[in-house]
């Protein structure tokens, strides 16, 4: 069982930066691939980034590649999403999720989800 709690969301102007954190409980955190997703009201949940259990592999959605960076600290049971050069279209609720398998862009593969943190980018 893994419980996830996101933090770090907020309101930022276009071009600004935010760093999201996702703190996990459970001794098995280091065995899970972790992912970040986002969702606007009325839209499907969208893949953002994923990282393997040891941080050796990462994968990004084309819309955030070069602007966002996913990382993890297994000693702290935490995964991060550094978001730079933010755009109004990045506005959404951001969720972290844990996948017992390999890196994956598909939400159904993730077994555990956080409650989400709101990111709002003003123009």
State pLDDT tens for residues 33-54: 999 999 998 899 999 999 999 9
For residue 95, the model assigns a pLDDT of 98
Tokens of 26: 């459970």
pLDDT band at 112 (very low <50, low <70, confident <90, very high): very high
- Report the alpha-carbon distance of residue 47 to residue 27 in Å, rounded: 26
Between 7 and 26, residue with greater pLDDT: 7
With bands split at pLDDT 50, 70 and 90, how would you rate the model's confidence at 27? confident
| pLDDT tens digits, one per residue of 86-101 | 999 999 999 999 999 8
**What's the pLDDT at 1?**
83
> How far out from the chain centre does Cα 25 lie?
16
The residue among 31 and 48 whose pLDDT is bigger is: 48
């Amino acid at each position: 069982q893994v419980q996830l709690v996101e933090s770090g969301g907020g309101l930022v102007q276009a071009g600004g930066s935010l760093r999201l954190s996702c703190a996990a409980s459970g001794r098995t955190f280091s065995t899970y691939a972790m992912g970040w997703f986002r969702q606007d009201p009325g839209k499907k949940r969208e893949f953002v980034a994923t990282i393997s259990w040891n941080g050796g592999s990462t994968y990004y959605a084309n819309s955030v590649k070069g602007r966002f960076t996913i990382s993890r600290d297994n000693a702290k049971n935490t995964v991060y999403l550094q978001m730079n050069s933010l755009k109004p279209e990045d506005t959404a609720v951001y969720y972290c999720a844990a996948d017992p398998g390999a890196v994956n862009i598909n939400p159904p593969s993730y077994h555990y989800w956080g409650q989400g943190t709101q990111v709002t980018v003003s123009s």
